[in-house]
Amino acid sequence: MKRYILFFVLIILIAFPAFAQIDSTLLRRTEKDTSRIQMNMDAVYNRPFLTMGKLPVSVGGYVEANWQHLGTDGISEGHQFQMRRLTLFVASSIYKRIKFLTEIEFEDGTKEINIEFASVDMEFHPLLNLRGGIVMNPIGAFNQNHDGPKWEFIDRPVSATQMLPATWSNVGFGLYGKLYRGRWVYAYEAYLTNGFDDQIIRNVENKTFLPASKENPDRFEESFNGVPLITAKTAIRNRNVGELGLSYMGGVYNKFQEDGLKLDQKRRVHVFAVDFNSTLPFTKTWLNGEIAWVNVDVPETYSQQFGERQVGGFIDLVQPVLRKPIFGFEKSVINFAFRTEYVDWNKGTFRETGTSIQDDFVSIVPGISWRPTSQTVIRLNYRYNWQTDILGNQPSKTAGFQVGFSSYF
């Protein structure tokens, strides 16, 4: 971790003197490509970048910070100010149809520093592109399209970030491509990468928890068990209707052998996800949702705290209600937003009683946002969560206000 911090400090030290010598009129924003229909899989490159003159390198990033005051069953930690994310992008056109992009993220200050994406893309044909390096596994849509300034909500969806492990990236290679037919685009992605480890059922969350594998510091260096994780997605988009994506991710998560000795049988994890988004034609209401199913082969003799099946998802509605200059920002938009989300962390029945295992999470988040420009959002959310334990006792309730901003820079 320290080497990343040193690397970052070095970049900053080099960049500041260099920047001071640059004529700022040479800096320009890269225009977004609006000539073609954009999909979730394009999100990684479809960002506002800053380029300098004719240098083939673009830089960018975004920042997120907020205040919140949440309480759980009458107990509150009071006023909290949080620097959730600082993310830096660097992209480069290496040669014709060969490009590179990296995304480095600092979460909660410097508590977590991650290379979320660092890949070289080579285009042989629009239907056949090779991507290699640290890639974001295309499971669901949020993992691909998660930049803070794009969302009207301060918290990321629980189903996408805690049941699914967004942001989830691994070292590997794969292919992707798109086919345009009139108003339709068909797309696919398929990757082989390093995968999960047994922390998904060996963690202090006390439940099957795919993001626990992100704690493995060696995962960018070696596979936990030598079996690649397969991730594949196909998506279809109509310019007038919206986008629908179907994705799968699966592989062996446990260390079943070491030094030629058998330790356990191969145990697999399977994840299926469906995502969609659309803008309703008359009201311009933005609808976005994702639902996913997780199946994990948990040893029968292990604790039932760790579920074999999970299901969860979220739906967001964003309704623009005012478009007019505010405080001199000519393209201001005020939105009303509403999110509802659900996760069943443990679908199944107790062996002892035959009754349902609970461990359910439900949340509603109404909010209002102001976008002075499309790249900056100021958000006010009120969230209310219900969480039951595995026995189905009365849920603990968490609620409160959050105010924050997120902006590309």
By CB atoms closer than 10 A (0-12, 13-18, 19+), residue 107 is middle
Q: Which residues bind other proteins (CB under 8 A)?
A: 69-76, 79, 198, 201-206, 254, 263-264, 267, 299, 301-305, 326-327, 350, 352-353, 355, 358, 380, 382, 389-394, 397-401, 403
Question: What backbone phi and psi angles, to 5 degrees, belong to 214?
Answer: -70, -15
What gap in Å lies between CA 74 and CA 68, rounded to an integer? 16
Closest to other proteins by CB, 28 vs 202, is 202
**Cis ω before 373 (30° cut-off from 0):** no
Cβ–Cβ under 8 Å, residues 404 and 377: no
Question: Of 82, 154, 49, which Cα lies nearest the Cα of 378?
Answer: 154
Closest to other proteins by CB, 123 vs 205, is 205
Q: Report in angstroms how near the CB of residue 300 gets to other proteins at its nearest.
A: 10
Question: Of 81, 52, 79, which Cα lies nearest the Cα of 64?
Answer: 81
Q: Report in angstroms how near the CB of residue 303 gets to other proteins at its nearest.
A: 6
Closest to other proteins by CB, 82 vs 203, is 203
Chain length of the chain: 409
Report CA-CA distances (Å) from 105 to 45, 68, 101, 407: 16, 22, 13, 14
Task: Give the amino acid at 286.
Answer: W
Closest to other proteins by CB, 239 vs 324, is 324
**What is the torsional sign of CA 141, 178, 188, 191?**
negative
Closest to other proteins by CB, 59 vs 380, is 380
Report CA-CA distances (Å) from 191 to 43, 175, 229: 17, 6, 8
Closest to other proteins by CB, 150 vs 255, is 255
What gap in Å lies between CA 363 and CA 340, rounded to an integer? 6
Question: What backbone phi and psi angles, to 5 degrees, belong to 297?
Answer: -80, 95
Closest to other proteins by CB, 203 vs 285, is 203
Closest to other proteins by CB, 226 vs 392, is 392
Q: Report in angstroms how near the CB of residue 59 gets to other proteins at its nearest.
A: 33
Closest to other proteins by CB, 35 vs 301, is 301
Question: Of 398, 286, 292, 399, which Cα lies nearest the Cα of 345?
Answer: 292
Closest to other proteins by CB, 123 vs 308, is 308
Q: Report in angstroms how near the CB of residue 2 gets to other proteins at its nearest.
A: 23
Q: Report in angstroms how near the CB of residue 357 gets to other proteins at its nearest.
A: 8
Question: Of 143, 133, 80, which Cα lies nearest the Cα of 403?
Answer: 80
Q: Report in angstroms how near the CB of residue 358 gets to other proteins at its nearest.
A: 8
Q: Report in angstroms how near the CB of residue 268 gets to other proteins at its nearest.
A: 13
Q: What is the largest CA-CA distance in the chain?
A: 73
Q: Report in angstroms how near the CB of residue 161 gets to other proteins at its nearest.
A: 20
CA angle 180, 178, 98 (to 5 degrees): 125
What gap in Å lies between CA 55 and CA 382, rounded to an integer? 44
Q: Report in angstroms how near the CB of residue 326 gets to other proteins at its nearest.
A: 6
Q: Which helix (H) or strand (E) holds 10?
A: helix 2-20
What gap in Å lies between CA 143 and CA 273, rounded to an integer? 11
Q: Report in angstroms how near the CB of residue 65 gets to other proteins at its nearest.
A: 16
